A and B are shown apart, each in its own frame.
Chain A
């Protein structure tokens, strides 16, 4: 691909001014991002771990709470990876342990994304007092770190799944709203939006039919970032003992439960640590891959 010009920019017009963010057709953005090594590695990691979390319970040799040997025994005999502090099979608990975290993280991020995008786009399009009011509201929520708000919610109501999901969704909303607004503002200024306004297209149609598709690039990047954080916060809450099922298999609780026995039987804590680390790194890499692809597209469009 020529590094200098795209097909439509030579002759018959002055070179396209650099516009940011210039969206590409979004399927192409993901496919192009997948050309980068980092995106592929990220996608592979996430894919593998998601698969593990989903299929795990079906292939685990034992149930998550079945004692199979002496507590904290090293690998051998019944337990391929040894047993945890209660004598349960580490491998089985590990295979059961991803679902909870992932499901909650996905739901929370999805809710946050939908609400946040709506608020951000409305604020960007409104360009008036509504914009200010919405953004100040978002600022209020953002003043508190995510995990702190989740902790307070859980401490007040109880460590139930819906509480955690709502708390994380609530704190994700303003962060996404800010990015959505930032991405939408330059697009709102462009003439094709004015053209639709002049023709009388209803506002909601402009927002979701014309504005949203043109802000997908930065939104996808932010969504993967938020996913990374959601997973981190939910695992941290589990680590603190605040999982919906304190005795159930959960990567976060496993780390906390088995860290004492690290010198004797490391696998109980090491496996979940590796899993969480790889998962978050994977989502992070995907987000970064998309960001770089979008920036690269911008750059080659405004070259020369």
Chain B
């Protein structure tokens, strides 16, 4: 088993991408730290041959979801009208509507969409992490993306930044 330092060095950026995509900067730093602290504790028990990136991205996703819930409990509604979003408090995510839409997806679709499109994991690995078949991982990702596209909050006239990736 490799020293954990090498894991932090290699996977720190992708964990940050997942956390920062879903959370404001301060909450993202909390989620990044919690992800690696939890991973460190569990690291010696990770089965040999495990995909460390897939494992970490999945932990990061769960910590980010926890962070979103905590923020929602702090009574900061995500579905504010766009004109109020401009005056949002510091730390509030600049794409709150998108996160609302993401949060509204069925859990499996939400996980698949995040692991695929924010964590950049292949479908096989998503399937392993979520305990589903690769076909189901692919289908849930596609269905999730389709649902986001249909979401009325995310239509171009909803004053949302949409730029090609």
Say whether A associates with B: no
Write the residues of chain B forming the contact surface with A, with a CB cutoff of 8 angstroms. none
Write the residues of chain A forming the contact surface with B, with a CB cutoff of 8 angstroms. none
